[in-house]
Amino acid sequence: MATEYQAEIDSLRKTFQQISAVTNPEQLKASIAQLTEESSAPDLWDDPEKAQAVTSKLSHAQSELDKVTKMDERIEDLSALLEMAQEEGESDPEMAQELYADLDGELAACSKDLSELQIRTLLSGKYDERDAVVTIRSGAGGVDAADFAQMLQRMYLRWAERSGYGAKVLDTHYAEEAGIKATTFEVHAPYAYGTLSVEAGTHRLVRISPFDNQGRRQTSFAAVEVIPLIEQTEHIDIPDADIRIDVFRSSGPGGQSVNTTDSAVRITHLPTGLVVSMQDEKSQIQNRAAAMRVLQSRLLLMKQEEEAKEKKELAGDVKASWGDQMRSYVLQPYQMVKDLRTGFEAGSPDAVFDGDIDGFIDAGIRWRATGEKAEKGD
């Protein structure tokens, strides 16, 4: 018996060591020290948005370090508990039995928490740690599809609320009879995009339609799109090494500065090849400043176009119709929510629509990272 318990503890310790290597507690401590210093700056709240980002990152880093530290302690406690049970087994079998029962409970709880901790280590994509922007669109199914889209919106907002995450609805287009045609909202939390991106795809609802006076079963669809919140680029810094500045004499009709001094300026942005010339101002300093403003605007536009293209690629092409659904919500003739990719399922659609979707999300993250199918849910 003791050998079996020891093997379980060793297995948990090995998994924890793998998680710890990815989480890197020492790096977390350094990050916490830096963020703590930033959060204590007297002018921090001069920029509320930046201040909230700093405090959120600090809270997340502290929480992650706390989870890793406590898990290490819990695994050590398991070894101590096993040792006590073995010692009591010789002198007090009844006490040893109680200790083994405690050990069973702690092993199960520790294994569950370790599994949840492991999920975070699978979020290593370029944008996984960003906030998420979720868009839901009703698809085939008429008014039932519009109602379904609104049910999904509530499901994700309730999930965010239950998880303690901030959420903000940006836009909602209501359907004529009931429900919504489309909605977009942000979820603000560390790794919100990495977590919610597995929810992207076509969702399918099967139920007796409340909008059909003949009580017929209706199948409807809604598309969920998830993209990372990419920070708006408001200013472009241009290093001096990235530009070449040429001066020349202004040409054309004008006053005393034309054709007499090298007041015109041509700036070439070497990385992109963009060229901006300016000669309308009277002095070289004024022309240079004007040319830099134009160059910054053009570079800003290029960057925004790249970000828009990248967002579109991340969102993918999600169709809300037959043939490409990733999850089914069946209310009639039986009750079941099943993810068709991972195999994870739950028997209480009401709980799922009330935001209880952590099991589906965790299974989706594992499936995306390893191709591993999930065990059945509740």
> Do 224 and 152 touch, CB atoms closer than 8 A?
yes
Helix (H, G, I), strand (E, B) or coil at 349: helix
Helices assigned H by DSSP within the chain? 2-23, 25-39, 48-91, 93-121, 142-163, 192-196, 284-315, 349-353, 358-370
Q: In angstroms, rounded to a whole number, what is the distance separating the alpha carbons of residues 258 and 279?
A: 9
Sequence-separated (6 or more) residues with CB below 8 Å from residue 377: 344, 345, 346, 347, 359, 360, 363
- What architecture does CATH give domain 2-121? Up-down Bundle (1.20)
Position 161 scores a pLDDT of 94
Pick the CATH number of 240-312 from 3.30.160.20, 1.20.140.10, 3.20.20.70, 3.40.50.720: 3.30.160.20
Cis bond upstream, residue 349 (ω within 30): no
User: Distances in Å between the alpha carbon of 248 and those of 256, 274, 334?
Assistant: 15, 18, 80
197 vs 224: CA distance, rounded Å = 9
pLDDT recorded at residue 212: 87
Grouped pLDDT means (10 residues each) for the chain, 378 residues: 85 89 86 93 87 83 88 93 87 88 92 83 82 92 96 97 89 91 90 92 95 90 89 71 87 51 86 84 82 80 76 67 81 95 95 96 89 62
**CATH 3.30.70.1660 describes domain 132-232+314-370:** yes
Domain boundaries, given as residue ranges, for the chain: 2-121, 132-232+314-370, 240-312
Residue 135, beta-bridge partner list:
184, 225
Topology agreement, domain 132-232+314-370 and domain 240-312: no
CA dihedral for 320, 322, 326, 327, sign (positive or negative): positive
